[in-house]
């Protein structure tokens, strides 16, 4: 449910196919690692994510989520914050890895006559 919406959302954002699959893979990995929430809280958390990815009325969704989160224990909230923080950290690392890979491929295909864009050689050639 959330994985499909996450993939659709990533696709709508226009990120590469590799990053789309990585975003879902990271979610699946963390879903397994952070399964220590009791089942009802885990299901609620997934519903929160699903509604955030689907809804156009963010104010209504945000207030609904906040009212439900107020009843959660500190331990449950800590797990959710760890999940979200870890997800975005790993997603950022995946993005950095992709940027490095793209730059490496551009460097490998660059020649003296067709230099890598935004390189010193490209600037000199343009002058």
pLDDT digit string, tens, across residues 23-34: 888 888 888 877
* Per-residue pLDDT band at 105 (split at 50, 70, 90): confident
In angstroms, what is the C-alpha Rg of the chain?
A: 20
pTM: 0.70
Mean pLDDT of 45-74: 84
Residue 112 has pLDDT above 80, yes or no: no
Q: Mean pLDDT across the chain, nearest whole number?
A: 83
Burial class of residue 49, CB neighbours in 10 A (0-12, 13-18, 19+): buried
Q: Which two tokens stand for residue 71?
A: 């009843």
């Amino acid at each position: 449910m959330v994985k499909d919406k996450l993939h659709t959302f990533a696709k709508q954002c226009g990120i590469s196919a590799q990053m789309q699959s990585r975003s879902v893979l990271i979610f699946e990995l963390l879903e397994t690692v952070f399964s220590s929430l009791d089942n009802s809280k885990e299901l609620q958390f997934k519903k929160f994510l699903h509604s955030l990815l689907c809804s156009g009325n963010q104010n209504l969704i945000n207030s609904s989520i906040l009212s439900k989160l107020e009843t959660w224990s500190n331990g449950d909230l800590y797990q959710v914050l760890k999940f979200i923080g870890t997800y975005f950290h790993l997603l950022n690392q995946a993005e950095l890895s992709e940027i490095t890979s793209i730059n490496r491929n551009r460097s490998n295909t660059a020649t003296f006559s067709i230099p890598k864009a935004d390189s010193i050689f490209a600037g000199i050639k343009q002058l």
